[in-house]
Amino acid sequence: MTRDMTTGSPLARILAFCAPLLVGNLFQQFYNLADSILVGRLLGVRAFAAVGATGALSFLILGFALGICSGFAIPIAQSFGAGDMDTVRSRTGQTVWLGLFFSALITAVTYFGTDEILHLMRTPDEIYDDAYRYIFIVFMGTGFTILYNLASGVLRALGDSRTPLYFLMGAVTVNVLLDLLFMGGWGMGVEGAAYATILSQAASGLACLLYIRRKVPLLRLTRRDLRPSLRRMGTIAAIGVPMGLQFSITAVGSILLQSAVNGLGADAVAAVSAGAKVHNIVAAPLESCGVAMATYCGQNLGAGRVDRIRQGLRAMVVLTFLYCGFGFLVNAFAGSDIAWLFVDASETAILVNVRRYLVTMSSFYPLLALVFLLRNGLQGMGFSQQAMLAGLSELVARAAMAFGFVGRFGFRAVCFANPAAWLAADLILLALYRLEIRKLDTEPELLLRLMHAAAAPKLKHAAAK
């Protein structure tokens, strides 16, 4: 089911698109939590810390993969908004080749580089072996991760955020069952959790691909659509690669921070790992709203509706700020209780730090909401390269906290590191958004050029409105 987001109430359209995204995001968090909960309960706190210690590295590599998949879908969304279905199919065909290329590239890089990066991160010796075995297996399944995210990204570009949700729900179910079988029944340790993850990703990706082939006539590609074109792939990659690098640049800062946390010992690693799991659940609505803004802005840019972009962003800022208050209350009063899913209640010192970590971060959730909305909105409009500056500012802020404050103030500085990064990113994003929107309002030729990039020559007259 496709959805045109260029007409009707902006808020209603975004929320209708966002609701399945939110459910899917929560299931994605559960998808990740299943490993963590079962690892912590079946294998112990040290194994849980080992899996958690790979979080920043996973974000570096898999975040890049997710970023490029989201970016590759944006030109498709722009073409769909412009009403050019031939270009939709052509661009979808080129993403197939780009997906194969980046799957091979990422797998090769991680095959040779995982060990060295974990050492550079100062992963504690007592958890190193488990951390390496877990993340190495996950990285070898990167191709399956890209397959699912490319297929679901194309569907979302057409306004269908519901179908990918169904396949993700199936993947979560498969993942949990395989976790129980591999770790609980067969005693495979952390390797079992990793194999469960990649096999469930493979199942969801193949199911999504089969659905597109049979149920989405618009995406039934011909040989002509699949014929490789360096020019067309370059157009798509010009948006997708900067989005992937945006994730990776942000992840480098997270790796530097994780290295500082690793230096505080395994208990600190466990506290941050558990706190991050809870934070990811509570902040999932904010992230989903951001993803929705990318498709919304992409379609409306293709249709030349800058006024709707502005209206939609204002409405979502109000809505997400209201949610931030709710998120703070959840973290303050229930965050440490949720952390019991991963850490035994007897680990009181860890749980105290979990609560401190969550309360501090959630006090600054409005900053995070702006990061998601503005960054995805700019990327949806095609300004991916400009949005990378926000990632650089986050990197600098996290590096400053890691090297300048964690050694002196310990875990307290860790709690403030992410809010500092969000603030640094917002300063850049707010300036960029105001600049680019003003350009679109005052320079019709820029809007026409962007609409041409979306293959919408028949909508040139929209720039004059």
- Confidence at residue 179, expressed as pLDDT on a 0 to 100 scale: 86
What gap in Å lies between CA 292 and CA 398, rounded to an integer? 27
pLDDT per position as a tens digit, 41-92: 777 777 877 887 787 788 888 889 988 998 899 889 888 887 888 889 999 9
Backbone angles phi, psi at 350, to 5 degrees: -65, -45
300 pLDDT tier (thresholds 50, 70, 90): confident
Average pLDDT (308-319) is 93
C-alpha 48 chain-centroid distance: 22
pLDDT at residue 31 greater than cutoff 70:
no
Comparing CA positions, the residue from 192, 180, 184, 187 lying closest to residue 134 is 192
CA quadruple 453, 5, 21, 323: dihedral positive or negative?
positive
Q: Which residues contact 1 (CB under 8 A, 6 or more apart)?
A: 159, 160, 162, 163
Q: What is the pLDDT of residues 263-280, one digit of tens each?
A: 888 788 888 888 888 898
Helix ranges (H only) for 303-347 are 306-338
What pLDDT band is residue 338 in, cutting at 50, 70 and 90? confident
SS3 category, 234:
helix
Percent of the chain with pLDDT over 90: 35
Report whether pLDDT(140) > 50: yes
Query: Does residue 5 or residue 428 have the better pLDDT?
Result: 428
Give per-residue pLDDT as tens, 386-412. Answer: 888 888 999 999 999 999 999 889 899
Question: Rounded mean pLDDT of the chain?
Answer: 86
In angstroms, the CA 39 to CA 43 distance is: 5
Least confident segment among 112-116, 396-400, 449-453? 449-453
Query: How would residue 111 be classed by pLDDT, with cut points 50, 70 and 90?
Result: very high
| The pLDDT value given to residue 367 | 97
Mean of the pLDDT values across residues 108-124?
Answer: 89
Residue of 304 and 415 predicted with greater confidence: 415
Distance, CA of 154 to CA of 209 (rounded, Å): 10
pLDDT band for position 453 (cuts 50, 70, 90): low
How far is the C-alpha of 13 from the C-alpha of 7, rounded, in Å? 8
pLDDT computed for residue 344 by the predictor: 61
Give residue 341's identity as a one-letter amino acid code.
L
**277, 361 Cβ separation under 8 angstroms:** no
Residue with tokens 């969801």: 204
pTM of the model: 0.73
Distance CA 302, CA 74 (A): 10
pLDDT of residue 135: 93
| Statement: residue 461 has pLDDT above 50 | no
Return d(Cα 234, Cα 90) in angstroms, integer. 13
| pLDDT score at 370 | 96
CB 287 within 8 A of CB 371: no
Q: What is the tens place of the pLDDT at every residue in 418-447?
A: 999 999 999 999 999 999 888 887 777 766
255 backbone dihedrals φ, ψ, rounded to 5°: -65, -40
At residue 458, the pLDDT reads 42
pLDDT at 243: 83
Per-residue pLDDT, averaged over 362-370, amounts to: 97
Query: Which residue pairs, CB below 8 angstroms and at least 24 apart, start in 434-442?
Result: 436/378, 436/381, 436/383, 436/386, 437/306, 437/309, 437/310, 440/306, 440/381, 441/306
Structure tokens that stand for 409 in this block: 């103030």
Distance CA 356, CA 359 (A): 5
Of the candidates 152, 10, 17, 16, the one whose C-alpha atom is nearest the C-alpha of residue 76 is 152
Q: Which of the four pLDDT bands, split at 50, 70 and 90, describes residue 452?
A: low
What separation, in Å, do the N-terminal and C-terminal C-alpha atoms of the chain show? 30
pLDDT digits (tens, 9 = 90+) for 240-264: 898 888 878 887 888 888 888 888 8
Mean pLDDT of 132-149: 93
Q: How does residue 463 score in pLDDT terms, banded at 50, 70 and 90?
A: very low
pLDDT confidence of residue 387 = 82
Q: Are 214 and 192 in contact, with CB atoms under 8 Å apart? A: no
307 pLDDT above the threshold of 50: yes
Type of residue numbered 87: T
Q: What is the pLDDT of residue 263?
A: 84
- Look at residue 197 in the predicted model and tell me its pLDDT: 87
